Amino acid sequence: MQTTGQSQVTIQIREVHLLDYWKIIWQGRWTVISVFFLVVTLVGVWTLLQTPIYKAVSALEIQTHSSQISPGQDISGLGASGYGFFAEEKYVATQVEIIRSRDVAGRAFRSLALDVDPRFQDLDDPVNAFRSRIRVMPRRETGLIEVSMEGGDRFEITKWVNAVVDAYSARNIQKARNKVETSVQLIKQQLDPLAASLRKAESTLLNDRGEQQIYNPENQQEAIRKRMSELNTDLAQISAEVNRSKDLLEKLDEIRVSDGDPMAVPELAQDQVLQEFNRQRVQLMRELEAKKLTLRPGHRDYKAKEAELETVNAKIEDQVFVLYNKIQTDYELKESQRKYLVTEVQKMEAADYELERARSSFALARTDVDTQKQVFDLISRTLQDVSLSAGLLANNVSVLDQATPPLYPIKPKKKMNLLLGALLGLLAGIAVVFFMDYLDHTVRSPEDVEKLVNLNTLSVIPRFEEGDRAGRAIKEAYQTLRTGMIFSSSNRERKILLITSTVPQEGKSSTVARLGQTLAAAGDKVLVIDCDLRRPTQHHHLGTEREPGLTSYLAAPRDVTDWRPFLNQTSHQNLDLITAGPIPPNPPELLGGVRFRDMLAQVREEYDWVLIDSPPSMSLSDTSLLAALADMALLVIQHNETDKDVIQKNVQNLRRVGANLIGVILNNVNIQKAYQKDYYYAGYYYFNEESGKKSKKRKAVSMSSGTGSAS
């Protein structure tokens, strides 16, 4: 909310929504269309220039389990038996990588004799170049794998794909056979050492039983653990007593160091001798306090009592020392007993460990014999099974579909490319429009004005070519401006209106002239004062001579007090003009003088409206002087021209000098290029005299609320 004078206006700034983005796109629609067609054309030309690419595909069927004719362990390595969790998925993924491997590519490369092909002879790594063209893709939810290659010769790539598939299949079965043969040899080599080891283990078992003297290990271990339990109980009890004695000694040390009261320790407080000494000390302290009331500290009786108190304190200290030594002796005895019990417990633990180790050694030897015997029997049976099934291996990989020469190319995809080009062109066009909008820092709508300077747009002046319809549209815009001025004038008490702009060439002077004509045509008596003393133009707009004028009056002798002889009658009824007159060297001195103030006070009484045309306010001080004298001020902003930062700084400067800005006039708006809802125009139908038919004019007249307020 912004307040000036007695008027108040509240401007609601709405949030940005999708319609605002659509407006930006609509205003830049020709840019979007141009970029769209450019991108589509480039994509189309690029697509037509591409060489056709064909794709040959072969399908492999892979069984995840090897085919076994006879029962027994499968060591061929065929299938997914050794892949753990998610075995089938891992196995298929592994086969995909094997097909892509350099090994398979090298086998196919050599089988095709491509090492003499001119395309591969000059390469540093021809096998890897061939490998890079192989594409492998598993079919989802199946055990099938597709192997494909792309190229310009459809017959050649078909031959290459089939060579890769055959090389992979041959490698798979050959690897399984080699693994089985190797396994048989390894099993035979392991049988003899296993037999010797088994005999040695049985002999060791018999010898260990006698050497370890294991007769009744359960009863022996029970006796040891019972004795260990008794020792642990005694150890826990004596450890607690040692800790208590240690804590008591630490307390006594603290009392002796800090001269504390030994009776605060319960163990000392129970000693009868110490109790008697403490009673005597308390009695002497009371007697000493009583003598302080009647005797001075140096008196003989007072000193005698102090000596008695010191004697008792010494006895207490001696008794505490005796008790401390007694407790220290008891602590050392208990600590010695605790160490003895710890040693006994450690001996029992060692005996228990030795007995357990002997039992474990015997049990381990017996287990070793049983295990080696089982392993020997198992390997013997395995050798028989493997030998039986070695010659019955079957490949788990088979070619489901051999590759055939493709009929149609896969690239370029003309329809897809054009579709993507159209989408890319549309997005690029929109991106260009938004980027241009981001770079554009000018005012383009009344909402921009409200957000920028918190001022209402009292009128939007459209840009039209000459003609009857143009004149009527502009006239309607100035009628709207007149209505806003009336509502801002506080029942016409505010008559002097300053019209200025931020920078030159924004149309403020023509706006002053047209507004004066509109007000005069409505029956109001209007005076236009051209205060642009640097580049005056009102005499051109209203068809009069420039001299004499305002500067002629302001620079006249003091005895010339009547400004009326410098008044010019215009061709418009009720509209008078005071031109600028001769251009002075220092306009601010004339405009800031008393004579100009007195003249404004006089014309206020004779005219209904006084319109002041001032210089652009951004870089000149003239406008600041005039703004302080005017009742109201209007700022003319040219559509899509003036920078927002300059406008904002200008408004701040005007408000700083106390200008009563009532609103903004958005001038020279190109309605034909604007979004149709940016500016609300009432529909007008103009009659075409030449054709005798009605032609509907684009909606024109400002979106202004028509109720400008003082700001």
DSSP string, 141-179: TSSEEEEEEEES-HHHHHHHHHHHHHHHHHHHHHHHHHH
CATH of the domain at 247: 1.10.287
The model's pLDDT over 140-169, given as tens digits with 9 standing for 90+, comes to 888 899 999 998 888 999 999 999 999 998
Q: What is the pLDDT at residue 207?
A: 66
| Residue 113 included in any domain | no
Q: What is the pLDDT at residue 465?
A: 56
Q: What is the pLDDT at residue 211?
A: 56
Instruction: Indicate if the pLDDT at residue 694 is higher than 50.
Output: no
For residues 265 and 327, membership in a common domain is answered with: yes
For residues 481 and 348, membership in a common domain is answered with: no
With 0-12 / 13-18 / 19 or more C-beta atoms within 10 angstroms meaning exposed / middle / buried, residue 249 is middle
CB of 149 closer than 8 Å to CB of 161: yes
Structure tokens at 692: 């005798």
Q: What is the pLDDT at residue 160?
A: 93
Distance of alpha carbon 419 from alpha carbon 400, whole angstroms: 36
Q: What angle do CA 396, 400, 403 make, to 5 degrees?
A: 130
Band (pLDDT 50/70/90 cuts) for residue 674 is low
Instruction: Indicate if the pLDDT at residue 676 is higher than 60.
Output: no
For residues 432 and 451, membership in a common domain is answered with: no
In this structure, the strands spanning 575-578 and 568-569 are antiparallel
- Higher-scoring residue by pLDDT: 205, 104: 104
| Residue 209 included in any domain | no
| Residue 147 included in any domain | no
For residues 419 and 451, membership in a common domain is answered with: no
Q: What is the pLDDT at residue 162?
A: 93
Domain interval for residue 430 = 17-48+412-438
Instruction: Indicate if the pLDDT at residue 75 is higher than 80.
Output: no
For residues 475 and 362, membership in a common domain is answered with: no
Band (pLDDT 50/70/90 cuts) for residue 104 is very high
Distance of alpha carbon 458 from alpha carbon 633, whole angstroms: 12
Instruction: Indicate if the pLDDT at residue 38 is higher than 90.
Output: yes
| Residue 197 included in any domain | no
Kind and range of the H or E run holding 700: strand 693-700
Q: Of 160, 156, 142, 171, which is closest to residue 400 (Cα–Cα)?
A: 142
DSSP β-bridge partners for residue 578: 529
Q: What is the pLDDT at residue 422?
A: 92
Q: What is the mean pLDDT of residues 595-607?
A: 87
For residues 463 and 568, membership in a common domain is answered with: yes
Q: Of 531, 617, 626, 534, which is closest to residue 577 (Cα–Cα)?
A: 531
Distance of alpha carbon 309 from alpha carbon 6, whole angstroms: 96
For residues 419 and 445, membership in a common domain is answered with: no
What phi and psi, each to the nearest 5 degrees, are found at residue 635?
-110, 125
pTM score over 0.95: no
Distance of alpha carbon 277 from alpha carbon 76, whole angstroms: 99
Structure tokens at 243: 């800790």
How are the residues of the chain apportioned to helix, strand and coil, as percentages rounded to the nearest 5? Answer: 55, 15, 30
Can you tell me whether residue 265 is helix, strand or coil?
A: coil
Distance of alpha carbon 317 from alpha carbon 59, whole angstroms: 105
Can the peptide bond before residue 587 be classed as cis, meaning omega within 30 degrees of 0?
no
Can the peptide bond before residue 548 be classed as cis, meaning omega within 30 degrees of 0?
yes
Q: What is the pLDDT at residue 128?
A: 92
Q: What is the mean pLDDT of residues 486-511?
A: 83
Q: Which of 83-97, 235-249, 582-596 has the lowest mean pLDDT?
A: 83-97
In this structure, the strands spanning 496-501 and 609-613 are parallel
Percent of the chain past pLDDT 70, that is, above it, reads 79
The model's pLDDT over 270-303, given as tens digits with 9 standing for 90+, comes to 777 777 777 777 777 777 777 777 777 777 777 7
Q: Of 591, 606, 630, which is closest to residue 497 (Cα–Cα)?
A: 630
Q: What angle do CA 10, 11, 14 make, to 5 degrees?
A: 140
The model's pLDDT over 552-590, given as tens digits with 9 standing for 90+, comes to 888 888 877 788 888 888 888 888 888 888 888 888 888
For residues 581 and 661, membership in a common domain is answered with: yes
Q: What is the pLDDT at residue 565?
A: 85
Distance of alpha carbon 59 from alpha carbon 22, whole angstroms: 51
The model's pLDDT over 617-666, given as tens digits with 9 standing for 90+, comes to 766 677 888 888 888 888 888 887 777 778 878 888 888 888 888 888 88
Instruction: Indicate if the pLDDT at residue 119 is higher than 80.
Output: yes
Alpha-helical segments (H) within 49-153: 87-100, 102-111, 118-121, 126-131
HSE (CB half, 13 Å, CA atoms) of 363? 7
| Residue 154 included in any domain | no
| Residue 169 included in any domain | no
Residue 379, Ramachandran bin (φ over 0: left; ψ between -120 and 50: alpha; else beta): alpha
For residues 314 and 263, membership in a common domain is answered with: yes
Structure tokens at 221: 């271990």
Structure tokens at 607: 């005219």
Alpha-helical segments (H) within 152-295: 154-211, 217-258, 266-269, 272-292
Q: Of 54, 59, 55, 62, which is closest to residue 146 (Cα–Cα)?
A: 59
For residues 358 and 469, membership in a common domain is answered with: no
DSSP β-bridge partners for residue 8: 3
Q: How many domains does the chain have?
A: 3
Instruction: Indicate if the pLDDT at residue 690 is higher than 50.
Output: no
Distance of alpha carbon 46 from alpha carbon 39, whole angstroms: 11
Q: What is the pLDDT at residue 102?
A: 92
> 537 vs 114, 288, 384, 636, CA distance in Å?
88, 116, 119, 16
Length of the chain: 711
For residues 256 and 366, membership in a common domain is answered with: yes
Amino acid at 31: T
Q: What is the mean pLDDT of residues 204-220?
A: 59
Kind and range of the H or E run holding 668: strand 661-669
Mean pLDDT of the chain: 77
CATH of the domain at 501: 3.40.50.300
Q: What is the mean pLDDT of residues 193-204?
A: 73
| Residue 184 included in any domain | no
Instruction: Indicate if the pLDDT at residue 66 is higher than 80.
Output: no
Distance of alpha carbon 348 from alpha carbon 233, whole angstroms: 14
Structure tokens at 207: 């010898």
The model's pLDDT over 360-417, given as tens digits with 9 standing for 90+, comes to 666 666 777 777 777 777 777 777 776 666 666 677 788 888 989 998 888 888 888 8
CB of 444 closer than 8 Å to CB of 641: no
Amino acid at 81: S
| Residue 406 included in any domain | no
Q: What is the pLDDT at residue 682?
A: 33
Kind and range of the H or E run holding 633: strand 632-638
Distance of alpha carbon 200 from alpha carbon 194, whole angstroms: 10
Amino acid at 121: Q
Instruction: Indicate if the pLDDT at residue 432 is higher than 80.
Output: yes
Q: What is the pLDDT at residue 372?
A: 73
For residues 222 and 252, membership in a common domain is answered with: yes
In this structure, the strands spanning 661-669 and 632-638 are parallel
List, as one string, the DSSP characters of 555-598: TS-TT----GGG-EE-SSTTEEEE---SPPS-HHHHHTSHHHHH
CB of 309 closer than 8 Å to CB of 323: no
Q: What is the pLDDT at residue 37?
A: 92
DSSP state of 114: G
End-to-end Cα, the chain, rounded Å:
9
Q: What is the pLDDT at residue 178?
A: 81
CB of 632 closer than 8 Å to CB of 710: yes
Q: Which of 241-255, 491-505, 643-657 has the lowest mean pLDDT?
A: 241-255
